[in-house]
Amino acid sequence: MKVRILSTSDVHGYIFPTNFSSRIDSHPFGYLKAAQVIKKIKEETANDEVVIYIENGDFLEGSPISEYTYQTRKTKKYNQKYCQMTNFLGADAGVLGNHEFDYGLVYIKETLKNRKYPVLGANISGKMAQSIIDQPYRIIEKAGIKVAVLGLTTQYVPHWEKAGNIEEVTFSSALETAKKYVPILKKQADVVVVAYHGGFEKSLDTGKLTERLTGENEGYALLSEVPGIDALVTGHQHRKIAQLVNGIPTTQPGYRAENVGQIVIELDNDKKIISASAELINTTEKPVNQELESLLTDWRHDVEDWLDMPVATVEGDMQIYDHVDARLYGHAYLDLINRIQMDATRTDIAGSALFNDEVSGYDTQITIRDILNSYVYPNTLVVERISGADLKAALERCASFFELQADGSVSMTNGHNVVKSQLYNYDYYSGIDYTFDLTKPLGQRVVRILYHNQVLEDTDRIDVAISQYRAVGGGEYPMFNMDKSIRVYEDDMPKLIAKYLRDRKVIKAEQPNNLKIIK
């Protein structure tokens, strides 16, 4: 007898095999490819095998189609397509990822209302939790085998999310919650699966720390400190993992449905586990599921038309050709984003990130497609009143992302995190003049900060416009917190960018020169 546990995680709204960079773009990923893999496995499974499919979170947010779907939710109602897809695949359980909360509880509830499977969240509680969570776990009985699935979400959500999106919802430690529930489930089921939208804080091979212990990722602790877990499904870090750890099969399938996680557990006639394995089934060369694709044709067509709507034009060059240089010396695109933040918040200092190396900046004609491909998160803005010392500490964090090579070249590092690229945590600032000396040790690299042509003292007070993610300390910026906030804004950045561009119609590309590098 075999139990086969399939999982997707961190799809981030990439349903079709495209990143929407153009109408004819084609990329080797997408949920439709994963759907074909899952459907085929289910169709070919022997009668004495049990197949469980878990959607492990960060499904609803993160792509241009996600933003379109949210913005048109009251008229088009394409958000109902998400459950149409998971229902089509016969999902057995769902888990909420941290990015599910980016659009608020009402959107989660409305979007998932037609699901034919429970959303599990054992460590999510509070008055409003019942509107989005069905139960802590599910016991599934198939072919005479009982499989328990415990759902967990990273407890770190409040450190990133604005308070209004998670009002009256509490997140507890995944580790402590598992310690409570796994012994209970072990008595009721033959196989206990933990589905955790979170990752690993230590190396799975050496047990050494790979990041600071904040509680964001507790996967290694789950495998090490909770007896009774038979399989662990993870996500959040966008890593590709499939291995046995302490004899426990665990998977993490990457990003944008590029893989389907598969864990196979074999039981004897007494329903005792005799073997286990873990693998990732790559979807790159797989076809899309045509039946499911046909149900989504109108969605794809409408979003493509919407993305091609013109917004403004650029005088000069605002395209990004070298992402390291753009971060190292600033860029016209980043400076524009900061100016938009300053305009919206009535401040004269702002910081923003180049989220990944797929950001291309703006061509001569700016469309909605360009806006959403370059600014991929629905961040809102916060103004915080901080000290000069706070800003210097934030800039030291930024400077930690640069590594000076022996030949004098500069490369990007992960800024303390050795397993996951975190370039979205490097910020470029406008409104100040500053210098990084990369020959100096970490923590001593900020050698100049000028504000209005005057040296910024540690005791000076300044107002800074940043994203709500950064404003709560997200990305290891403890100098920022909401206790320092003086203004909070509701409109998200893609909307603010579109409005700014439409109002001006023509944008001049100007390369900033306020960031100096010594190397």
Tens of pLDDT along 235-280?
999 999 999 999 999 999 999 999 999 999 999 999 999 999 999 9
What is the pLDDT averaged over residues 34-60?
95
pLDDT over 60 (residue 419): no
Domain topology for 2-303:
Purple Acid Phosphatase; chain A, domain 2 (3.60.21)
The per-residue pLDDT for 162 is: 83
Mean pLDDT score of the chain = 96
Write down the pLDDT at residue 420: 58
Q: Is a pLDDT exceeding 90 seen at residue 87?
A: yes
> Are 385 and 314 spatial neighbours (Cβ–Cβ below 8 Å)?
no
Q: Would you state the pLDDT for residue 102?
A: 93
CATH 3.90.780.10 in the chain is located at 310-518
178 within 8 A of 220, measured Cβ to Cβ = no
CATH architecture of 310-518: Alpha-Beta Complex (3.90)
Tokens linked to 473: 């300390």
User: What does the pLDDT look like over 211-234, one tens digit per residue?
Assistant: 889 999 999 999 999 999 999 999
| DSSP-derived 3-state class of residue 403 | strand
Q: Is the pLDDT of residue 504 over 70?
A: yes
In the chain, DSSP finds a helix count (H) and a strand count (E) of: 15, 30
Question: What's this model's pTM, rounded to 2 decimal places?
Answer: 0.87
Tokens of 11: 């799809």
The answer to whether 36 and 42 have CB atoms below 8 angstroms apart is: no
pLDDT for position 422: 85
What's the pLDDT tens digit per position in 12-31?
999 999 999 899 999 999 99
Q: What is the pLDDT of residue 352?
A: 98
Q: Measured between alpha carbons, how far is 199 from 261 in angstroms, rounded to an integer?
A: 14
Q: What is the mean pLDDT of residues 321-350?
A: 97
Backbone dihedral angles phi then psi of residue 118, each to the nearest 5 degrees = -85, 145
Percent over 70 (pLDDT), the chain: 98
pLDDT value of residue 415: 58
pLDDT tens digits, 351-402:
999 999 989 999 999 999 999 999 988 899 999 999 999 999 999 999 999 9
In this prediction, residue 421 carries a pLDDT of 66
- Cα-trace Rg, the chain: 24
Buried b (16+ CB within 10 A) or exposed e, 232-248: bbbbbbbbebbeebeeb
Mean pLDDT of 46-73: 94
Q: Which of 332, 267, 388 is nearest to 512 (CA)?
A: 332
What integer pLDDT is reported at residue 413 of this predicted model?
85
Q: In residues, how long is the chain?
A: 519
d(CA 154, CA 123): 9
Q: What is the pLDDT of residue 159?
A: 86
Each residue of 445-481: b (16+ CB within 10 Å) or e?
bbeebebeeeebeeeeebbbbbbbbbbbbbbbbebbe
- Averaged over 187-201, what is the pLDDT? 98
Gap between the Cα atoms of 339 and 345, Å rounded: 10
**For residue 429, how many other CB atoms are within 10 A of its CB?**
25
In which residue are the tokens 């950064």 written? 470
- Which amino acid, 4? R
CA distances (Å), origin 388, targets 341, 457, 469, 479, 494: 20, 6, 21, 11, 29
In the chain, ranges of CATH 3.60.21.10 domains? 2-303
Average confidence (pLDDT) over 98-113? 97
Q: Which residues of 3-32 are buried (b: 16+ CB within 10 A; e: fewer)?
A: bbbbbbbbbbbbbbbbbbeeeeeeeebbbb
Phi, psi of 239 (to 5 degrees): -90, 160
All residues at 6 or more sequence positions from 83 whose CB lies less than 8 Å from its CB, including other chains: 111, 112, 113, 114, 115, 116
